[in-house]
Amino acid sequence: MFRFLIFCALLLVVPQQGWTLATGDLTPEHPPDVIRRAKSAEMFKYMNQSADPCEDFYQYACGNFAKHNPVTEDNPAIGIGEVLSEKMNVRVRGELETDYPTDTKAYTNVKNFFKSCLKIQHSLDEEYNEELREVVSAFGEMPLLVGDSWREEDFDWVKVLAQMIYKTGQELLFNVMVLPDFSDNTINRVIFGEPRLPMQNPEVYTGEAFADSRERIIEYSTYYLHNYFGVNESMATQIAWEILNFEISLAHGMDDPKAGHQPSEMFTLMDMDEMEQNYKNMGDLRQLIHDIMGSTDIDEVYVQVSYLDHVRDILKKTPKRIVANYLFFSYMADYMVEPKTEDNEVVEYCIEKTKSYFYKVMDNMVYRKYIPQNTERTLYQIWRELKTAFLDILYSPRLDWIRDDTKKEAVEKLKQMKLKILSYEHPKDVADVEKMDISDQHFVRNIDEIRRTRGEKARAKLNEPPKALQMGAEASTTPYYNPFENMVYMPVSFLQPYYAWSTEFPSAYNFAFLGFFVSHELVHGFDNSGRNFDAKGNARNWWDATTDQVFRERSKCFINQYKNLVYFGHHLPEMPSQAENIADGGGVRLAYEAYLSWYRKHAQDDERLALPDLSSYTHKQLFFVSYAQVWCSNYAEIYIANQLADTHTPNQLRDIGPLANFDEFAKAFNCPEGSYMNPSNKCMIY
């Protein structure tokens, strides 16, 4: 999945030939010529044309980016992700702060929650603290609140955890949820495995490079325990470390996202009797699942055995007091407010808090008001060109290594693959929000209402028609491919005009920017992970043994190539899963070939002249410059470790790696063989 740690800001414009308008100031009312000149000036100023494009194309395309976009303490990462998010938040804020007579119940609920968040920021007093304690008391006694009177023998973690997850659907210690069967998505299964932890990537908990991140967690936790629960500061720090260390121990047993494990490798379908027998010394897990799901009619469960074994071992050696504090404190995370002092910080915090629960409604607000009517037509035109181009690639001589039976399956999967804009226009998308009763005054009660609704929704899935897993709030910010549906999803934030696309931009830019991201996700359907799912979204091996072996050999090329790339003095980590690099390489090739196909059919005299500052470039060169500027970015040093830990390659290497593997790039810029951007040995799958 394209989890989106890319940063390429395209916002400010330095005057070029007297031109001063910024792309961030463009509106649909501006004439096409004005829009193109603004984009042209922006692109030109970020380039460093004194650099050799055959030795470092990132420097050539983005060499002046950091100079025009310096990082600061308040703005430590600058890029397209931040630009899109900032612009979305500006638009969302305008909608949240304005009540309209036409507001639906869903809109009103979201706006009320936002108002309650603003109110609680100015009401972090004893009344709020007492509300938090009442929430805790619903599940028994929390050791840190009752001290020495807490009785270990009275604590049953299975019972407490079941009550917490039943009420909220929260991922706590485990993720217990309903999904379609991996191999037959016409039936539902209960999944019993690892949860998403607050810092998400297990490496942030376990890696030496992230010690500062863990220290910040301790600072926040200590503050909450001291100020909201009345624990003295020394004891609060001690308990904060106990809680974090327990969470670190959980992270050590979680799946490494860089390994590229498939569901069939991670989960085992186990009947309840077998699970009960295997883990009888751990607790009554049968009862745990039945209580969470509110049903005893569950005979088989998909179990993540490696994680469950790991938790069993941890619970054996961890004092119950620490386990209890961890469960209660983690359960309370949604209720605890991070205090802000500046008015703008309060608003930004409450926008993000509201987005974490109501991103669907907020995206729909922006979609309805700010996304031009021609957006869908433009996007689906690009999608059709991409699918046609990939079909041609599948039948081309360069993919002769794919045998006929496997190629037939690939073609069928491509034909059935669909693209969908996450506009959340259908009433069922926000039906659960419509049913809520959200107040503009009572923040804690609102969280209760949200979590109650989520818990009911999570249980109801057991008896509903199977529905593929969605990505939650991440779906609001980044395109992604869902292998269970064979569907590419495009978020509303990405369709804001003048950043990633515009109907007024030359097609070279639109295919290189927006087209690339769609291509990247399309190729994910055929990477080392997506290729394990068929056209209907079922986990199935449809690759013949010979083709499968060639694919694996070609993947090794990427492993060996990318581990030798250096980023700020660090070699990239060796990753068994090359899904993102395969999608990058295949994505830029696909976008380029789709663009050339479009160009042959629609070649227009003004394709190059549409961007006057770049009129000396051929249409092919313009495509590659546009693609390279996807990855223009400026990071503060604190982000380097995060980039190296991510499954995506750091930005500037996502420019260099795919283009250095692409013969057509070398031809476009006349790069001699053996130059850095035209190595003799190249890696390619699609």
Q: pTM score, two decimals?
A: 0.92
Sheet holding 188-193, edge to edge: 175-180, 188-193, 300-303, 268-271
Residue 194, amino acid: E
User: What confidence score (pLDDT) does residue 500 get?
Assistant: 85
To the nearest 5 percent, what fractions of the chain are helix, strand and coil? 60, 5, 35
Q: Of 405, 364, 685, nearest to 524 (Cα)?
A: 685
88: CB partners within 8 A, 6+ apart = 366, 492, 493, 496
Q: Are 452 and 463 in contact (CB under 8 A)?
A: no
Q: Dihedrals φ, ψ of 442, to 5°?
A: -110, 90
**How far apart are the C-alpha atoms of 625 and 629, rounded to whole Å?**
6
**How far apart are the C-alpha atoms of 520 and 523, rounded to whole Å?**
5
User: What confidence score (pLDDT) does residue 11 get?
Assistant: 31
3-class secondary-structure state, position 567: strand
User: What confidence score (pLDDT) does residue 638 get?
Assistant: 85
**How far apart are the C-alpha atoms of 655 and 62, rounded to whole Å?**
10
What are the CA-CA distances from residue 612 to residues 341, 607, 624 (Å)? Answer: 46, 10, 17
Q: Are 477 and 81 in contact (CB under 8 A)?
A: yes
User: What confidence score (pLDDT) does residue 18 get?
Assistant: 44
Q: Of 282, 308, 285, 286, nearest to 297 (Cα)?
A: 286
User: What confidence score (pLDDT) does residue 470 get?
Assistant: 66
User: What confidence score (pLDDT) does residue 78 get?
Assistant: 87
User: What confidence score (pLDDT) does residue 86 get?
Assistant: 86
CA 188 to chain centre: 25
Ranges under pLDDT 50 in the chain: 1-19
User: What confidence score (pLDDT) does residue 156 get?
Assistant: 96
**How far apart are the C-alpha atoms of 495 and 490, rounded to whole Å?**
8
The alpha carbon torsion through 345, 348, 349, 352 (nearest 10 deg) reads -170
Which secondary-structure segment (H or E) carries 88? helix 80-96
User: What confidence score (pLDDT) does residue 15 get?
Assistant: 35
293: left (phi over 0), alpha (psi -120 to 50) or beta: alpha
User: What confidence score (pLDDT) does residue 5 get?
Assistant: 32
Residue 500 CB: number of other CB atoms within 10 A?
24
What are the CA-CA distances from residue 364 to residues 101, 369, 448 (Å)? Answer: 17, 9, 24
Q: What is the CA radius of gyration of the chain?
A: 26
3-class secondary-structure state, position 180: strand
Question: What is the per-residue DSSP string for 344-386?
Answer: HHHHHHHHHHHHHHHHHHHHHHHHHHHS-TTHHHHHHHHHHHH
Residue 265 CB: number of other CB atoms within 10 A?
12
User: What confidence score (pLDDT) does residue 605 get?
Assistant: 57
Q: Which DSSP symbol is given to 262?
A: -
Residue 237, amino acid: T
**How far apart are the C-alpha atoms of 628 and 656, rounded to whole Å?**
8
Q: Which DSSP symbol is given to 469?
A: P
**How far apart are the C-alpha atoms of 464 and 167, rounded to whole Å?**
19
What sign does the CA torsion over 620, 621, 622, 625 have? positive
The C-alpha angle with vertex 551 and arms to 661 and 524, in degrees rounded to 5, equals: 70
Q: What is the mean pLDDT of the chain?
A: 92
Q: Checking DSSP bridges between strand 487-491 and strand 480-482, what pairing results, if any?
A: antiparallel
Beta strands in 81-229 (DSSP E): 175-180, 188-193
**Strand partners for 490:** 421
**How far apart are the C-alpha atoms of 295 and 287, rounded to whole Å?**
10
Q: Are 43 and 614 in contact (CB under 8 A)?
A: yes
User: What confidence score (pLDDT) does residue 80 get?
Assistant: 81
Where do runs of H (alpha helix) occur along 430-494?
Answer: 431-435, 443-460
User: What confidence score (pLDDT) does residue 8 get?
Assistant: 33
Q: Are 61 and 628 in contact (CB under 8 A)?
A: yes
